[in-house]
Amino acid sequence: MISLKNPEQIRKMREAGAILYEVLQELRGQIKPGVTTAALDVFAEQLIRKHHAIPSFLHYQGYPATICASVDDAVVHGIPSHKQVLQEGQIISIDCGVQLDGWQADSAFTMGVGEISPEAAKLIEVTEQCFFDGVKQAVAGNRLGDIGHAVQQVAESHGYGVIRDLTGHGIGRNLHEDPAVFNFGEPGHGMRLRKGMTIAVEPMIAAGTWRVTQDKDGWCFRTADHSLCAHYEHTIAINEDGLPELLTYPGFTWKEDA
């Protein structure tokens, strides 16, 4: 069932999103060679609780950490570890959620560890482009397939694979709500978008195959061919007119930044 949010509820999600944005910006500064993913996790949890908010991921369906830290061929849900020490040239996706006063926000980014190859940098750049081109379709009256199609068109035009087994999602009081938001699809197909819908759009784009495998820990997904994968996500609110609001990107305006 789709839950439409009123302006006051969206305001609360915006507040959660502002905290999450600050946490992720601070985390960017912590990512460097020699740092463990477990240290990043501790840093994120402490910062979230400093804001009197709750880490959404911690203990969610049994997940043991505040962030997902997915390195190189890991697509999503990489569990932070004291044994995983970041190395120069790797790429890492950080996915995190914040709950504030019962309302959720979810966002992710991918960046390089120190100096990275031009190929890795391009993958990250194109993944972000996939997000923004997809979200431009998140207009009341359009359909979910319009978002997925736009993401797919950008990724495949660069020869990349669009992960198909993992999706974006609705979000609100719960971290995961209806509908599923696919990163591929046909324009004009799928659920019609309506004012008050709040969804997390999150392209996961691989340098090689779109197929994935899952680690024995039951959480981390990897590209089946072990190619690099990037991930980018924001929580958005569908407006009655015009392009959506990025609730986890304070100050963003389409005119200036898109």
- pLDDT (tens place) for every residue of the chain, 258 residues total: 899 999 999 999 999 999 999 999 999 999 999 999 999 999 999 999 999 999 999 999 999 999 999 999 999 999 999 999 999 999 999 999 999 999 999 999 999 999 999 999 999 999 999 999 999 999 999 999 999 999 999 999 999 999 999 999 999 999 999 999 999 999 999 999 999 999 999 999 999 999 999 999 999 999 999 999 999 999 999 998 899 999 999 999 997 444
Q: Give the pLDDT confidence score for residue 1 in this predicted structure.
A: 87
**pLDDT value at residue 226:** 98
Structure-token pair, residue 6: 């009123």
CB-based contacts of 158: which residues, under 8 Å, 6+ apart?
122, 126
Token pair listed for 74? 């890991």
DSSP the chain: ---PPPHHHHHHHHHHHHHHHHHHHHHHHH--TT-BHHHHHHHHHHHHHHTT-EESSTTGGG--SSEEEEETTEEE-PPP-TT-B--TT-EEEEEEEEEETTEEEEEEEEEESSS--HHHHHHHHHHHHHHHHHHTT--TT-BHHHHHHHHHHHHHHTTPEEP-S--EEE-SSSSSEEEEE-SS--TT-SPBP-TT-EEEE--EEESS-S-EEE-TTSS-EEETT---EEE-BEEEE--SSSSPEETTSTT--HHHH-
Contact 121, 141 (CB under 8 A): no
Residue from 20, 29, 12, 239 nearest 135 by CA: 239
Rounded to 5°, the CA angle 42-69-167 comes to 130
pLDDT at 25: 98
Global confidence as pTM: 0.96
Task: Return the pLDDT at 257.
Answer: 47
CB 131, CB 148: distance < 8 Å: no
Between the alpha carbon of residue 195 and those of residues 7, 105, 149, 251, the distances in Å are 10, 18, 21, 21
Q: State phi, psi for 45 to the nearest 5 degrees.
A: -65, -45
pLDDT at 255: 76
pLDDT, position 180? 98
